[in-house]
A = this chain, B = another copy of it.
Amino acid sequence: MRPAPERRREILDTAAEVFAAQGYDATTVRRIADAAGLLAGSLYYHFDSKESMLDEILRAFLDELWARYDAVLAAVLGPRETLEALVTESFREIDRHRAAVAIYQKESRHLREQPRFGYLAGSQRRFEQAWLRTLERGVAAGVFRTDLDVRLTYRFVRDTVWVAASWYRPGGQHSPEEIARQYLSMVLEGVALRDGHRTYG
């Protein structure tokens, strides 16, 4: 009568993969059960509901993400270094929990209207604040350009980072650090070649 937490993990990882591949609503509980090697009804020994699987997946992802982000923000770095660290941690998170990030990216917008998933909105607000503050600090410090709309820039950066979860495959050609480096190079220096262009990294 011990809970066997490993089986839970296994099932949850399977569920995350399926949710990411087909979308939460389009995924049947039976599909998850098939992929996990048991019958649909048996899932309810481990979990309350399909929704609570989703909840657990998203919470685990956000908890881990914020642990890393908070560490970055606690270490008082310059704005450019903060930006680099946040982007790098984001790509590392995609590497570790690709499925969870893809689900978050696809579903969080409409999930956050349900009370149960209100924490998604809270998380997003903190997320936005951290990024905006970093960008603003950079502008104030003369490190980032002054002529760009900070909110627009934030959105571009945020989206590009997370949407990478939809094509990234762990163990592929590029390490998360390499992807982060290339991405940062593009965002910071631009793709246009100019005299005296400084290669990044």
Contacts and interface: CB of A to CB of B under 8 A. Distances in A.
Nearest to A200: B147
A174 B188 CA distance: 23
Contacts of A191: 135, 138, 144-145, 148, 153, 187-188
A162 to B, nearest CB: 8
A130 interface: no
B192 A110 contact: no
Copies of this subunit: 4
Q: Is the interface of A mostly helix, strand, loop or mixed?
A: helix
A182 B145 contact: no
A170 interface: no
A184 B197 CA distance: 18
Contact of A144 (B23, B155, B192): B192
A163 to B, nearest CB: 4
A190 B193 contact: no
A21 interface: yes
A146 B21 CA distance: 34
Interface of A: 21-23, 25-26, 80, 106-107, 109-110, 135, 138, 142-149, 152-153, 155-156, 159-160, 163-164, 166-167, 174, 179, 182-183, 185-194, 196-199
